[in-house]
Amino acid sequence: MSQKTMLMAANFRSKKQAMWRGALGKCPACNTRSLFAKYLKIADKCGGGGLVLEGHQADDAPPYFTIFIVGHIIVPVALIVERSYQPPLLVHATVFCVLAIVVSLISLPIVKGAVVGLQWALRMHGFAEPDAQTDDM
């Protein structure tokens, strides 16, 4: 195996594995449970492998994907319930508003962790190797 092939294999970051680890709230690099410091706040640094997470932003992607996922779960269920049982409007609105909020609160940290894991795997937003970064000064 050539040196270039060995270097590429050593630097390979699996997108699927990184996203899965992030979705579970674990560091995408070392798989220790230290991605979040609070409910949605990314930790400053990984406690296991020392990966610097400070100042990392997933921006608007997690809320967008969460809205997309929740909409695709709630709307079909609401339509099925409406066609099957025809509940009063007040019951219908109350149940599905509460359900949408609960599903959103459950899925948002999962989606945010997966986005951070993907960004780590793609070396985005400061997740590049230290020797690969160039100084602009």
Residue 69 lies in a domain: yes
Domain interval for residue 60: 14-128
Contact 53, 46 (CB under 8 A): yes
pLDDT tens per residue, range 54-91: 867 788 999 999 999 999 999 999 999 999 999 999 99
Reduced 3-state DSSP string for 38-57: CCCCECCECCCCCCECCCCC
Residue 116 lies in a domain: yes
- The C-alpha atoms of residue 39 and residue 12 are separated, in whole angstroms, by 30
Lowest mean pLDDT among 39-43, 58-62, 128-132: 128-132
pLDDT band at 133 (very low <50, low <70, confident <90, very high): very low
Residue 1 lies in a domain: no
Residue 31 lies in a domain: yes
Closest CA to 22 of 124, 125, 112, 104: 112
Residue 6 lies in a domain: no
Residue 2 lies in a domain: no
**How many structural domains is the chain composed of?**
1
| pTM for this model (two decimals) | 0.84
